[in-house]
Amino acid sequence: MTNPLLSNWDTPFGLPPFDQISDADFAPAVDVALSQSRANIAAIAENTDRPTFDNTITALETADELLGRVLGAFYALAGADSNAAREELQRDFAPKLSAYASEVSENKALFARVETLWNQRETLDLTDEQQRVLMLTHRGFVRSGAQLSGDDATALREAKSRLSVLGTDFMQNLLADERSWFLPLGADDLAGLPDFVIATAKAAGVEKEADVPVVTLSRSLIVSFLQFSDRRDLREKAYEAWCARGANGGETDNRALAAETLKLRETRAKLLGYDNFANFKLETEMAGTPAAVNDLLMQVWAPAKAAAEADAQVLTKMLHADGFDGPLEPWDWRYYSEKRRKELHDLDEAELKPYLQLDRMIEAAFSCATRLFGLEFAPLAGPTYHPDVRMWEVTRDGVHVAVFIGDYFARGSKRSGAWCSAMRVQTRIGGDIRPHVVNVCNFAKPEEGKPALLSYDDARTLFHEFGHALHQMLSDVTYESISGTSVARDFVELPSQLYEHWLEVPEVLAEFATHADTGAPMPQDLLDRMLGAATYDMGFQTVEYVASALVDLAFHNGPAPADPMQKQAQVLEQIGMPHAIRMRHATPHFAHVFAGDGYSSGYYSYMWSEVMDADAFDAFEEVGDPFDPDTAKRLEETVLSSGGSVDAAELYIAFRGRLPGVDALLKGRGLAGST
């Protein structure tokens, strides 16, 4: 029987035929695809014709076409609907794929062809895009160790192979801890919980096959529980379990994996001639150096800490007024902050949430894309990897642009967080290939027959991930390696964070924030109060984020710590971390940094991009129209369509005329006056 992963996909727009694929198909398909990739690489390296851009660089761009197709389907499943078989496959694939990548980077004949083209680049009559692809390809080989030989090459290969295994193990351990823990709630344990939290807890109980409501470690559920539960003892129990992910001892403990990861990254950097991993990693980012990152973070840390400490004093008085002695604890902050928000802004989530229906927020995100970029979205039937998954065809002026896939609900088989990925990216090699873009979120799934309701933070997350999706969908380049989100890590969050601003546009909320039961639009008074509270508790949010970014930077900007937990504690003590706030991501569950290389030394990227997104939205506000067509066209032509074909700073300057300072960020977070 033909392996469906290796056959032509006779599906709408070439989507993976998930209804025909079994877990047993992946391993043989990856083996076949790897063999094909190796043959393609050998053909390029052994070509006796003189090197040209087409027979070397373009050929490299398409060498892994089958492998990319198979892995695109696999990793969509592995991240969003994992099971024991898929986790075992991940562990098996990680060293295989690392070994293949090392073979390519260590292929001396192949690198010689790339090096020849690089040395002759001024005489090759290349387009600007080709010049960029050549530079990135050459730089990628060098940074992957192509110039190493002998023991150094072997050591680098072994380090990268082990790192791939460690990243997979880290993520699977975290998923196991999140999947296994839940807190049953009896009738006496529901005090203070609004109906929507109880309904979500009941739905979670059904998934966990419990006969009572439960609290799980899904952010969308546990944060609501921490906001509303009157039971301080249960808040503490749930919060500590949330913070203990990856640090519970036994087989799923991530602390030793984190230590080994940091040591191997240091080894990798030094083999390549860098003092430490941060210097290596940041060389290709907009920030450029650890000092520049630290400077940005510390500019924000001081006002954020001052604001948080002022808030803590108020919340502590509320705690004491409730008869509890002692300091404000981390499991108290969200509870008393929610009460204070009600007092200051006459706003509570129980009143707000019925107006933020998932389906209406999806419509809102689509509507903004229609008004800004002329995109249209039509529901699409076809095979998906899970019953919760939804699909749309994206068109513009009747022409197919992309397939957009939304997977919105939390489940035990899905890793935590929210992300955007592409099962297929845009390219013009081999035809006009349009992308298949996936947004994955972890919103609380409602009871059967009930609408899914979002918090305002959830709605922002939906817009954020859709901003990433637009970056993929509007990509208009020739080469896959620079397509869509293939940009500097501290630039990739600009489109996503910028898109969040349209959720705050009053006319958008006036149209799409409608009540789940009555269909009535959000009252103007409530809309005003919600937007007025947009920067409420921003000291807390900024402190927990910046602390995580500073710890990440410290891990990599110097000798690798033998004990990361000790290093984490040292950094937090040095910056004066407030007692009642903890890092957004403590080391044992810091998946951004330890589940792969993506955000290692790079968690600061969200804030670096925020400096730009706050300034970028001002371009619309300055002309008095959040949907100004000329500004939207300029945004698409510079930032959204260009991928990595131009240096990130040049793209931003092309859109805005200059690079911004940190002032716009502080103003946007309501921290400009804090000292």
Q: Give the separation between CA 6 and CA 1, rounded to whole angstroms.
A: 11
Residue 493 inside a domain? The answer is no
- Flag whether 51 is in a domain: yes
| Neighbouring residues of 362: CB distance < 8 A, sequence distance ≥ 6 | 406, 462
Flag whether pLDDT at 673 surpasses 80.
no
**Residue 621 maps to a domain:** yes
Percent of the chain with pLDDT over 70: 99
- Dump pLDDT digits (tens) for 391-441: 999 999 999 999 999 999 999 899 888 999 999 999 999 899 999 999 999
Confidence of residue 674 (pLDDT cuts 50, 70, 90): low
Residues spanned by the domain of 126: 12-147
140, 198: one domain: no
| Residue 447, pLDDT score | 84
In a domain, 562, yes or no: yes
596 in a domain, yes or no?
Answer: yes
Same domain, 194 and 293: no
In-domain check, residue 222: yes
Q: Which is catalytic among the residues 106, 266, 465, 480?
A: 465
- The answer on 231 and 128 residing in a single domain is no
- Three-state DSSP at 409 gives strand
Q: Measured between alpha carbons, how far is 54 from 363 in angstroms, rounded to an integer?
A: 43
Provide the number of structural domains found in the chain: 3
Q: Identify which has the larger pLDDT, 673 or 199.
A: 199
State which of 200, 226, 245 marks the end of a domain: 245
* pLDDT 10s digits, 454-503: 999 999 999 999 999 999 999 999 999 999 999 999 999 999 999 999 99
**β-sheet bridge partners, residue 427:** 433
Are residues 125 and 228 both part of a single domain? no
Report, as an integer, the average pLDDT of 140-152. Answer: 96
Looking at the predicted structure, is the pLDDT value of residue 272 above 90? yes
- Strand duo 436-443 + 419-424: pairing: antiparallel
Q: Are 56 and 113 in contact (CB under 8 A)?
A: yes
Query: What is the per-residue pLDDT across 341-364, written as a single tens digit (0 to 9) for each?
Result: 999 998 888 889 999 999 999 999
- Distance between CA 317 and CA 325 in Å, rounded? 10
Same domain, 30 and 128: yes
The reply to whether 42 falls in a domain is: yes
Q: What is the mean pLDDT of residues 542-570?
A: 97
Check whether residue 190 and residue 93 sit in a common domain: no
Among the three residues 245, 263, 295, which one is the final residue of a domain in this structure?
A: 245
Any catalytic annotation for residue 309? Answer: no
Q: pLDDT, tens digit, for every residue of 525-534? A: 999 999 888 8
Regarding whether 222 and 137 lie in a shared domain, the answer is: no
The answer, yes or no, to whether residue 124 has pLDDT greater than 80, is yes
Last residue of a domain, one of 100, 124, 147: 147
Please write the tens of the pLDDT for every residue from 193-250.
999 999 999 999 999 999 999 999 998 899 999 999 999 999 999 999 999 999 999 9
CB within 8 Å of 474: residues ≥ 6 apart:
373, 401, 636, 640, 641
Please tell me the predicted confidence (pLDDT) of residue 675. 60
Average pLDDT across the chain, whole number:
95
Asked whether residue 501 is assigned to any structural domain, the reply reads no
Same domain, 545 and 590: yes
- For residue 45, what pLDDT is reported? 98
Rounded Cα distance, 526 and 637, in Å: 37
Smallest Cα–Cα separation from 224: which of 338, 359, 357?
A: 338
Whether residue 212 sits in one domain with residue 326 = no
Sheet holding 390-396, edge to edge: 375-379, 390-396, 399-409, 436-443, 419-424
Q: Are residues 23 and 117 in the same domain?
A: yes
Identify the CA nearest to 390 among candidates 462, 493, 484: 462
Of the candidates 516, 533, 513, the one whose C-alpha atom is nearest the C-alpha of residue 524 is: 513
Least trusted range by pLDDT, from 205-209, 314-318, 392-396, 664-668: 664-668
Q: At residue 375, what are phi and psi to the nearest 5 degrees?
A: -85, 145
Q: If you average pLDDT over residues 285-309, what whole number do you get? A: 96
At 306, which CATH number? 1.10.1370.10
Q: Same domain, yes or no, for 200 and 306?
A: no
pLDDT 10s digits, 622-662? 999 999 999 999 999 999 999 999 999 999 999 999 998 88
Looking at the structure, tell me whether residues 18 and 109 fall in a common domain. Answer: yes
